[in-house]
């Protein structure tokens, strides 16, 4: 539940629940008071009925000494008083102060005769007055007053109970609301603060943050998402930093060898003891090393541009047949010079969105690797095949099934050669920068960035690249490109 409706409901409960509790408790007390009042009323009637035979004695309504009222005094107690009056309003006797005739004042007859034969009730007492007759002549009036001590005490006790009940009710509601607030707000916010402090100090949080469907839960979710993104970014920055350090170390190592060779050949050329033929050979070697250095610098520059998130390559729409005709041309002469048999095949019928120069670079890198590891008299195959065409028959049998599955819904560029196989343990590493298998060290200069560059270019084309290798056949490299409708 969202916080706003939850808080509104909580406030409503805090306001209404005590009133409801008070109402039900009041109703319960009212029912109890009604029962208690009826019981008390019956008890009072019984007491009056017990006194009535005694109070109807005509002798009590004559002026006489108070000692004659001893029997009346014995049947009354501290909670009860009886006052006897003459018809003219003269007070004859009172059990309250045990006094006799009041000679100084005469009660008004109107007061004496008021509410006769009626049991009157107020908060503190019951009062009953009844006339006494003898021979159909009024001889006196008696007034009975019974204190409601139990009732008053009960009311006071019930008032205390009601007050205590209200206090307990408020306390329970307050504690319940505080517990709910702690679970709903305080605890999640405290855990979030602890996690934020731990994250700010680079420490790992010790508790799992609660995920609820409210604003606090959304805040926690955003924090966790932000935390994961920052951690992923930090890991990526760390990985890139390690990669940069590795590139610098690898470049330093790979540049040192050709530079050492160039210096040695220049020293030999400067010595003046070489023949013209030797000088010509040394110059050719120097230029070859310089070309290798230039290739390394160019590869590093391209690798850096492709790694940059700000440098994105531009794409153009091309006709597949024309584009791949151009892409596959120019390798026959180089293969012929090395004594390598080259087979070129094209089966395309789609259009493509590509960066022409970068795709040329990909095929150049793959063909350069294939020619580097293919001995004279062996073969290289270069083909481009759309998804609706079957694979060429010359694809090495161990690779056919996997390549068929891998090339679905796209066009593949295949470069296959009969060279020495790449070890299985190295296949997953060949696309990492500056990674070369041990056999590559003796097959001419290479920057170690060719396949890494090829993979980054294919990634930017929303494509993919993969190598398969088998000791009894050779190696197949394939690039997959998405097709556009004609």
How long a stretch of residues is the chain? 486
Q: Which two three-digit tokens encode residue 372?
A: 């580097």
For residue range 342-357, what is the model confidence (pLDDT) as tens digits?
999 999 988 999 989 8
Separation between Cα atoms, residue 450 and residue 452, nearest integer Å: 5
Q: Which residues contact 434 (CB under 8 A, 6 or more apart)?
A: 246, 247, 250, 251, 254, 447, 448, 449, 452
Q: What's the pLDDT at 266?
A: 74
For residue range 28-86, what is the model confidence (pLDDT) as tens digits?
777 877 888 888 889 888 888 888 888 888 888 888 888 888 888 888 888 888 888 88
Q: What's the pLDDT at 468?
A: 92
Cut 0.75: pTM above it: no
- Between 484 and 110, residue with greater pLDDT: 484
Q: Is pLDDT at 340 greater than 70 in this prediction? A: yes
CATH class for the domain made up of 3-153: alpha beta
Q: Is pLDDT at 291 greater than 80 in this prediction? A: no
For 45, other C-beta atoms within 10 Å of its C-beta total 13
SS (H, E, C) 224-251: HHHHHHHHHHHHHHHHHHHHHHHHHHHH
The answer to whether the CB of 317 falls within 8 A of the CB of 352 is yes
Question: What residues form DSSP beta bridges with 36?
Answer: none
The answer to whether the CB of 99 falls within 8 A of the CB of 112 is no
For residue range 88-100, what is the model confidence (pLDDT) as tens digits?
878 888 888 766 6
Separation between Cα atoms, residue 423 and residue 438, nearest integer Å: 10
Residue from 421, 477, 428 nearest 454 by CA: 477
List, in sequence order, every beta strand (DSSP E) within 95-201: 119-121, 125-134, 137-147
- Element of type H or E holding 458: helix 450-460
- Element of type H or E holding 452: helix 450-460
Separation between Cα atoms, residue 310 and residue 89, nearest integer Å: 118
Eight-state DSSP code of residue 208: P
Q: Is pLDDT at 116 greater than 90 in this prediction? A: no
Percent with pLDDT over 70 in the chain: 84
Select 315-482's CATH number: 3.30.565.10, 1.20.120.1200, 3.20.20.20, 1.10.760.10: 3.30.565.10
Where along the chain do its domains lie? 3-153, 215-303, 315-482
Q: Is 333 exposed, middle or buried (0-12, 13-18, 19+ CB in 10 A)?
A: exposed
Q: What's the pLDDT at 31?
A: 81
pLDDT bucket at 434, cuts 50 / 70 / 90: low
> DSSP per residue over 367-431, as a string?
HHHHHHT--TT-EEEEEEE-TTSPPPTTS-HHHHHHHHHHTTTEEEEEEEE-SPPPPHHHHTTTT
Q: What's the pLDDT at 441?
A: 40
CATH class for the domain made up of 215-303: mainly alpha
For 98, other C-beta atoms within 10 Å of its C-beta total 13
Percent with pLDDT over 90 in the chain: 15
For residue range 179-237, what is the model confidence (pLDDT) as tens digits?
877 777 777 777 778 777 877 777 776 566 666 676 777 777 777 788 888 888 888 88
């Amino acid at each position: 539940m969202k916080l706003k409706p939850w808080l509104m409901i909580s406030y409503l409960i805090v306001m209404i629940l005590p009133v409801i509790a008070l109402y039900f408790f009041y109703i319960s007390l009212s029912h109890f008071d009604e029962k208690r009042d009826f019981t008390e009323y019956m008890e009072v009637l019984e007491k009056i009925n017990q006194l009535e035979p005694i109070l109807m004695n005509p002798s009590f309504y004559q002026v006489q000494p108070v000692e004659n009222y001893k029997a009346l005094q014995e049947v009354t107690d501290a909670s009860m008083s009886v006052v006897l009056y003459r018809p003219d309003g003269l007070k004859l006797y009172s059990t309250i102060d045990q006094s006799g005739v009041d000679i100084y004042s005469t009660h008004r007859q109107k007061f004496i005769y008021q509410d006769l034969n009626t049991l009157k009730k107020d908060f503190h007492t019951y009062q009953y007055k009844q006339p006494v007759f003898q021979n159909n002549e009024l001889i006196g009036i008696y007034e009975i007053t019974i204190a409601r001590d139990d009732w008053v005490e009960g009311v006071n006790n019930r008032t205390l109970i009601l007050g205590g009940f209200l206090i307990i009710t408020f306390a329970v509601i307050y504690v319940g609301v505080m517990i709910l607030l702690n679970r709903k707000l305080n605890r999640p916010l405290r855990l979030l603060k602890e996690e934020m402090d731990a994250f700010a100090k680079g420490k790992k949080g010790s508790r799992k943050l609660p995920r609820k469907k409210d604003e606090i839960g959304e805040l926690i979710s955003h924090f966790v998402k932000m935390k994961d993104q920052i951690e992923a970014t930090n890991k990526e920055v760390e990985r890139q930093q390690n990669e940069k350090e590795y590139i610098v170390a690898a470049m330093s190592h790979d540049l040192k060898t050709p530079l050492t060779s160039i210096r040695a050949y220049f020293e030999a050329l400067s010595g003046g003891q070489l023949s013209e033929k030797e000088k010509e050979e040394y110059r050719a070697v120097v230029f070859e090393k310089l070309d290798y250095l230039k290739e390394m610098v160019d590869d590093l520059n391209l690798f850096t541009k492709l790694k940059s998130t700000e440098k994105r390559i531009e794409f153009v729409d091309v006709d597949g047949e024309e584009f791949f005709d151009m892409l596959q041309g120019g390798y026959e002469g180089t293969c012929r010079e090395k004594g390598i048999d080259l087979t070129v095949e094209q089966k395309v019928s789609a259009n493509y969105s590509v960066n022409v120069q970068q795709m040329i670079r990909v095929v150049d890198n793959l063909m350069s690797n294939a020619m580097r590891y293919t001995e004279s008299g062996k073969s290289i195959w270069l083909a481009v095949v759309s998804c609706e065409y079957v694979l060429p028959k010359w694809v090495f049998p161990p690779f056919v099934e996997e390549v068929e599955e891998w090339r679905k819904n796209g066009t593949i560029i295949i470069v296959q050669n009969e060279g020495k196989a790449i070890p299985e343990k190295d296949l997953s590493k060949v696309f990492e920068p500056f990674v070369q298998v041990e056999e590559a060290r003796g097959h001419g200069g290479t920057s170690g960035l060719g396949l890494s560059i090829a993979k980054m270019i294919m990634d930017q084309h929303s494509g993919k690249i993969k190598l398969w290798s088998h000791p009894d056949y050779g190696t197949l490299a394939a690039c997959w490109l998405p097709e556009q409708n004609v």
